Amino acid sequence: MRRAIFPGSFDPVTNGHLDIIERGCKLFDEIIVAILVNPAKQPFFTVEERQQMLNGVLQDINQRQCRVRVDSFQGLLVNYAVAQEADAIVRGIRAISDYEYEMQMALMNRRLEPSIETVFMMPAETYSYVSSRLVKEIFQLGGIIDGLVPTLVEKRMKEKMMRP
């Protein structure tokens, strides 16, 4: 039984995240999508809203492929990974620009907890430029985010704009 943690802010979940989860499902029996609770950041969606959206969009993958659970965590990622008896941390790398930060985190996490491996996965080229930050920026400026996030997320973003 191989278990991986896919950590992140997921504010909101994008089609790029879903692509990585689907790919991760080929390597692991269970993936825990873990939302970081970060009191220092002012998010667009609350942790509960993010968790609810993830549960909604992951139903399909859950039935077809591996087991995917959604959870949230505070504090050090490696402590959470050990508590969940995970073997690995999965991170998506889109471009070379991601690499430096990701490598630093992976090596620091390894130093903190050598039993947990970090596995980097590349999303489909279509998603190589998609990020939650850009999706939010484009949406807030009235641009089209069709195809970048699941339909449910787009719907929730519109609702949030109308009733913050």
Q: Pick from 6, 9, 145, 148 the residue near ligand PNS by CB under 6 A.
A: 9
Decide whether 103 or 124 has the Cβ nearer to ligand PNS.
Answer: 103
> H-helix or E-strand containing 92?
strand 88-92
Query: Per rule CB under 6 A, is residue 77 in the interface with ligand PNS?
Result: yes
Q: Pick from 37, 82, 105, 122 the residue near ligand PNS by CB under 6 A.
A: 105
Q: Is 114 helix (H, G, I), strand (E, B) or coil?
A: coil
Q: Pick from 2, 59, 76, 103 the residue near ligand PNS by CB under 6 A.
A: 76
Nearest approach, Cβ of residue 152 and ligand PNS (Å): 19
Q: Pick from 7, 12, 16, 150 the residue near ligand PNS by CB under 6 A.
A: 7
Which residue stretch of 3-11, 46-54, 63-71, 150-158 sits at the interface with ligand PNS (rule: CB under 6 A)?
3-11
- The dihedral sign for the CA sequence 149, 150, 151, 157: negative
Residue with tokens 């029996």: 29
Strand partners, 152: none
Catalytic sites, residue numbers: 17, 41, 94, 132
CB atoms within 10 A of CB 146: 8
Q: Pick from 8, 16, 92, 150 the residue near ligand PNS by CB under 6 A.
A: 8
DSSP annotation of 37 reads -
**CA 156 – CA 164 distance, rounded (Å):** 11
**CA 75 – CA 58 distance, rounded (Å):** 25
Query: Per rule CB under 6 A, is residue 122 in the interface with ligand PNS?
Result: no
47 and 11 Cβ atoms separated by less than 8 Å: no
Catalog residues that contact ligand PNS under the rule CB under 6 A: 7-9, 36, 76-77, 105, 108-109
